Amino acid sequence: MLDISPAFANLGTETAFEVLARANALKAAGKDIINLGIGQPDFKTPPHVVEAAAKALRDGHHGYTPANGIPELREAVVRDLHRRYGVTVDPGLVLIVPGGKVTMFFAIMMFGRPGVEIMYPNPGFPIYESTIRFSGATAVPIPLLEDKAFAFSADDVLSRITPKTRLIIINSPANPTGGVVPVIELEKLAAGLERHPNVAIMSDEIYGQLTYDNHKHATMLRFEHLRDRLILLDGWSKTYAMTGWRLGFGVWPKELFPIAEKLAINDHSCVNAAAQWAGIAALDGPQDAVHTMQRAFAERRKIVVDGLNKLPGWRCVSPGGAFYAFPNISGTGLDSKTMQTKLLEQANIATIAGTSFGAYGEGFLRLSYAADKRDIERALERIANLKV
């Protein structure tokens, strides 16, 4: 009998990958599967970005890079943050990592241990809760509610802080709900955190460039007084359709940066060199592809939300950002998991049960509208014809 660390009993997973595997198996067996499960743009990476990676390989960028990323890319990140938000960031505090997830894992590992609490959004990206539990810390949910359009209130978050709180994770625009937290609430949160100087914040802003209507994304970097305890998570996956490239970045407080860098050296040495050169082209090059995708998602969002709201037993808040609809299906009489299974096995539509994102996701389903418009329309027709 192998004596594996008991911590692994607490490690969760991301159901999206399991659903993707099942959807692909059904597809291989000849089923006409519509995939609204996995959260990734259905667009290709812009050609000039692909070319930059190919050129990097041709130019001989085949070796290890500095563990924190090539200086040219860290400088490009600083320029990008300045362009987007008007904030100034020290390139020495930017850590290039293989995907947004890595920043999250490092931050949670830095603070998590038995006896402390880490707050996280629920429903939220499943890896938050999984990794918090893995670390031994107590996972304290910030419930995100439909009647608040899935945005948290600062007072609610602040009221959950205890002497054991070490880290608060926030995510706006959010996965899986599409919720966008109004800037006034972020300001209130930032002000309230002045009373809790030992609490760190990780702000997951990976969907920061995907907002709709009058919803606007505001970065936590704007709060200078939090910079010594703010970890910013961002990356290329969603904005530039680069999920498979595995490229992300964190902006770390001075005190934490050397620990994060050491973790990077222990974990992966550095990020794939060609991907880093592609990252520069993405940030410094034309942003047309970003705007094209944003417009396409905005159009599909309307189709999916309008369509879902016409279905008996379904209702769907219009998501302010990201590319997910998170309808309430409780009126159908089915629970989330049963609906997910029924849709996949009977209607050939891959979706994700709300409970995959935490206990507060019961009664909801996540549909990604980063999918072909015609496929979204066909999916809505199939759902309307589903025998519940």
Told to check if 69 binds ligand PLP by CB under 6 A, we report: no
End-to-end CA distance of the chain, in Å? Answer: 45
Closest distance of CB 103 from ligand PLP, Å: 8
Q: How many CA atoms lie within 13 A of 141 on its CB side?
A: 14
Closest distance of CB 350 from ligand PLP, Å: 15
Q: Residue 195 has which token pair?
A: 């009373």
Closest distance of CB 115 from ligand PLP, Å: 27
Told to check if 101 binds ligand PLP by CB under 6 A, we report: yes
Which CB sits closer to ligand PLP, 141 or 192? 141
Which CB sits closer to ligand PLP, 35 or 171? 171
The contact mask relative to ligand PLP for 123-142 (x = CB under 6 A, - = no) is --x-----------------
Told to check if 361 binds ligand PLP by CB under 6 A, we report: no
Q: At what angle do helices 273-284 and 71-85 cross, to 10 degrees?
A: 30
In whole angstroms, what is the distance from residue 261 CA to residue 134 CA?
21
Q: Which of 45, 122, 237, 355 binds ligand PLP (CB under 6 A)?
A: 237
Q: Which of 65, 172, 177, 243 binds ligand PLP (CB under 6 A)?
A: 243
Q: Which stretch binds ligand PLP (CB under 6 A): 53-61, 138-146, 235-243, 276-284?
A: 235-243
Closest distance of CB 123 from ligand PLP, Å: 11
Which CB sits closer to ligand PLP, 171 or 219? 171
Q: Which stretch binds ligand PLP (CB under 6 A): 55-63, 99-107, 140-148, 376-384?
A: 99-107
Using CB under 6 A, list all residues that contact ligand PLP.
Answer: 39, 99-101, 125, 171, 175, 204, 206, 235, 237, 243, 248
